[in-house]
Amino acid sequence: MNYRITLLVIIIIFLPDIYTYANKEITALKTTETIEIDGYLNEEDWSRTQVIDDFTQQYPDEGEPLSQRTEVRLLYDREKLYIAFQCFDSQPHKIIANEMRRDGMLWQNDNVYIMLDTYGDKLQCFFFRINPLGAKSDTAVTDGGENLNGSWDCIWDAAGQQHDKGWTVEIAIPFNQLRYKENEKMEWGVNFGRNIPRTTETSQWIQVPQSQSWPGTFHPIYQGKLTGLQDIPSPSYFDVKPYLLGGFAENLDDSSDWQRDNAGDMGLDMKYGVTSNLTLDLTVNTDFAQVEADQEQVNLNRFSLYFPERRDFFLEGSGLFSFGADIGGWGPPPLSVFYSRRIGIEEEREIRILGGGKLTGKVGSYSVGALNMTTAVSEEIPMTNFSVLRMQRHILSDSSVGFILTNRQSNLGRGYHRNGGIDLFLRPHDQWRIRAMTVGSWSPNADERDYAFYLSNNWRNKHLRFNVSYLDIGPDFTSEMGYVYRNNVRSFKMNSGTNSQINRYFIRDAGMGLSGNYILDHDNRLIGWEVYFGGNISFPTSDGININFQRYFDRVDEEFNIEEVKIYVGNYEMNQYSMSVYTDSSRPISIYGGLNFGDYFQGKKLGYYLESQWRATHQLALDTRFNRNHLYFPDISDITATIVGGRINYAFNTRIFTKLFVQYNHTEERASANFLLNYIYRPGSDFYLVFNQTWRTLDGFNTDEWTILSKFTFLLNI
């Protein structure tokens, strides 16, 4: 396997660079005016700077001009970059703007966005999106657009105004929130986009091919030049962000006695711009009180669940630490070498993090990430140190090669677990991506030493997509700082599909997909296979339907339980049928639902789900979720697993938000409620009020625990 990866690297390195980039340029004008971010372009310098207006459709009419004129202007001073969009609209009363939340679903509204490749390496960038209300979302993009960190929060400002000719936004992005190589004259990569949901138009200044769909808008290879930036000071800085926490809680112990806990704490986060390229983050007594509860899941197989990270300290720069096998779709990754939820969370319990640090950024052609954290002693869990070192080198035009080292150390150094690996990402063409990875595990226990390999080839054009991959995880491979869905596998996977615009017979688009997976263990025994076939149709109204068929084989070598039902050892061949429907998500009310039925080991399964979104006003939104699975077993009592959830969001404005999240998990006999008030009283400084309560539902709703907390953070720029 190693010699194949080496040969592949040698061949690709000598391939010519066949990219072609648009030769477009926009020059920012230096201003001495005070630019007030209010959505009105009434400062004189806005009329003096260059205007670009040549936007091209990505969809539905690829290559055609955007139907509504759009103008973009750029200014800057020593502290900030200013961007203005003038979005003309011939039907301004039909503009869709009903989202005010920070990092809300702005793509469902009329919106504009900016992509900034400040290093010019076409591998990482900053992505900013704004709607006509001035609501903001931001994303840190790494790995050529393959890794998106939507939880990254930049301290920036934006304002929008609607008028009888359309709408306008003004944006100010401080240079000290970006990372770049300091030069007397800088040249960045940049792209702009506008989306109009009522006409289904998506467009960019530098067109993204329709074959890349919406993920392509995050790919920094599609960029023009931003010039004119001169005498910008180094963004070296020192930010201190202390927090104060207060509150109290009560919970039932094993003897059903109430225990009261008065919470009062403080901690500190620090951020230091070592250079214009490197940022050092330090944390002392890290706290995560503002984090929303995890979304409930039901586990209907014998493998562990995967929950996304929600803690701010680990989210920033998380894309740089990504290393593993990509599933190429929805669901948990089959292998991730660094899974940050291993730090400070043990068996669904929070463990105090004493402190730690993180260094991220670039040194020359190298992207660097280093993390070190220490958790406190907790019952039978000793003090533990977690370390990660990640490095990638930019090669060719927009490819990379890198390595990762992880170390989990406890018991004063006597207990350790380590992973180390190298990976390669190649993009010889904008429609072709190749990934290769190998990683090993080491510990004092000989049964935890083994290797894993991964190789994938992904190609697509306007109508076709094709992906083939090989994943090999040894029987003794472990990753105590990562996530492994299943070890002792050799998986050969193929995924293909086609999609075409029809635009007749009341059909807008139609597509089909075919995939297969063949799984062996390391004794070359067949342990599973899968064949999937599906089709989808979307209508001019942006509604759609999906119909799928799946036939698969699963070898069960050890019995496991689903609630009180035992799944026996044996070979199972099963069929599954599913159908889903959805409506246009830009409407005030939209739904997504479906059902699936078929075989389930020695029984049968019927499942159905429904999710809805109601945007009552631009301030009030209600999301609901219902998921139920019925499992039928001959001569055994049936199982019903139900999850019900709802989320009410209310935004007073773009800085004050409330959220109520309620959930009920029938399988776990648990219900919960989570209320959050977030007030951004100044950029980077927040006040949180959090209330959590859980109930046991075995015999009615009986309170299990409740917590009320307040948290105050204050950002100091030194």
Residues 394-418: tens digit of each pLDDT = 888 778 999 999 999 987 667 899 9
pLDDT of residue 639: 86
- Which of 320-329, 409-418, 455-464 is predicted most confidently? 455-464
∠ CA(6), CA(10), CA(15), 5° rounding? 145
Q: Which helix (H) or strand (E) holds 336?
A: strand 335-336
pLDDT of residue 287: 65
pLDDT of residue 365: 84
User: Which residue matches tokens 């019900």?
Assistant: 644
Residues 154-206: tens digit of each pLDDT = 889 999 999 999 999 999 999 988 888 778 788 999 999 999 999 999 999 99
Q: Which helix (H) or strand (E) holds 5?
A: helix 2-13
Residues 488-509: tens digit of each pLDDT = 999 999 999 998 888 888 899 9
pLDDT of residue 236: 63
Phi and psi (nearest 5°) for 229?
Answer: -75, 115
Closest residue by Cα to residue 399 from 4, 683, 15 = 15
Tokens for 445, please give them. 């226990």
How far apart CA 658 and CA 679 sit, in angstroms, is: 9
Paired with 129 in beta bridges are: 113, 137
pLDDT of residue 7: 44
Using CB atoms within 10 Å of the CB of residue 567, give its burial: 0 to 12 exposed, 13 to 18 middle, 19+ buried: buried
What is the share, in percent, of the chain residues with pLDDT greater than 70? 90
pLDDT of residue 124: 87
CB-based contact 299:331 (threshold 8 Å): no
pLDDT of residue 396: 83
pLDDT at 421 over 90: yes
> Residue 417: which residues within 8 A CB-CB, separation 6 or more?
407, 408, 441, 442, 443, 448, 478, 480, 481
- CATH class, 21-230 region: mainly beta
Parse the chain into domains and list their residue ranges.
21-230, 277-482
pTM of the model: 0.81
- Which of 126-135, 152-161, 454-463 is predicted most confidently? 126-135
